[in-house]
Amino acid sequence: MAYRLSATRLQTYRRCAQAYYWRYEKRLPGPAGFGGTALGTSLHRCLAQFHGDWDAQDPQPSRAWLAQCWHAIATDLNQEQQHEGWQLLETYYREQIQPQATWQRPLAIEGRIQATLVLEGIEFLVSGRYDRLDLREDGLHLVDYKSAKRLEPPRPEQIDVQLGLYQLALEQRYGQLKSLSLVHLRSGQAYCYGCTTQQREAVLAQIATLAQQIRSDQQWQPQVGEQCRSCGYRRYCPAVNAEAEPIPETITSSSDRRIQLSLAL
């Protein structure tokens, strides 16, 4: 079985090998994740239909088509959510659709990025998700919609890992990735990040380090720093807690990791 890898996993490993070990090797429950809200899910579905099913003979998708998609999808939301959602979509249309005179149907919508990669004799399954993949004259561009109240721009090191990993994953199937845009639906603003070969090389080096760690199975070292403040494992971590609790028995005994060590031919 290939070893699963995503941008979130690699970012965790970069921040602290000990936290990575507990979360992904031991599957020790950490802080609860943030599930998608009903409104956010409906907005994503609406935009998938809006971009994926519009009549591409028109130069750009119309506002009427956007309204039609929203009315069909927002039926399970209450009135307040329907109204709020439409306001966000109108902002998106005004800021993102109207300024561009001609549009093309995206290459893919709400897709899953998946690719295999062999490093240091270990087969990794790299995965991620995207909302829209556009093919323009200069190459591939990923677009992700964000519906949170406030969009904190990602830290440069976070975006570098994400872009490096996505380049590696997409090049096998589609070719060279040029950029990632995060579109904040509440403000209509887009934050665009360009891809570089340095991001790709840095991620390859990080995966190689992770592979060496997995193979050697030596101790996963804690890395004390700013990240400890929001770490969900503080209670178990002797590096920051003199009275650290032991890891629960059920976790310590159910940690078998099955990975495929690829044999070089």
Of 210, 111, 128, 112, residue with least CA distance to 164: 128
- Minimum CB distance to ligand SF4, residue 191 (Å): 27
Name the residue nearer to ligand SF4 (CB basis): 97 or 231.
231
Interaction between residue 169 and ligand SF4 (CB under 6 A): no
Instruction: Give the interface segment with ligand SF4, choosing from 41-49, 93-101, 192-200, 218-226 (CB under 6 A).
Output: 218-226
Ranges assigned E (strand) in the chain: 3-5, 108-119, 122-136, 139-146, 177-184, 190-194
Interaction between residue 231 and ligand SF4 (CB under 6 A): yes
CA dihedral 57, 63, 68, 70 (to 10 degrees): 120
Q: Which of residues 232-261 bind ligand SF4 (CB under 6 A)?
A: 233-234, 237, 239-240
Residues 257, 156: Cα–Cα separation, whole Å: 32
The token duo for 116 is 């295999």
Choose which of 4, 224, 254, 255 interacts with ligand SF4 (CB under 6 A): 224
Interaction between residue 28 and ligand SF4 (CB under 6 A): no
The token duo for 85 is 């959602």
Site string for ligand SF4, 92-131 (x = CB under 6 A): ----------------------------------------
Interaction between residue 222 and ligand SF4 (CB under 6 A): yes
Q: What is the DSSP letter of 124?
A: E
74: Cα within 13 Å, side-chain hemisphere: 23
Q: In 3-state terms, what secondary structure has residue 146?
A: strand
- Minimum CB distance to ligand SF4, residue 221 (Å): 9
Q: Find out whether 16 and 27 touch, Cβ atoms under 8 Å.
A: no
Residues that bind ligand SF4 (CB under 6 A): 16, 18-19, 222-224, 227-228, 231, 233-234, 237, 239-240
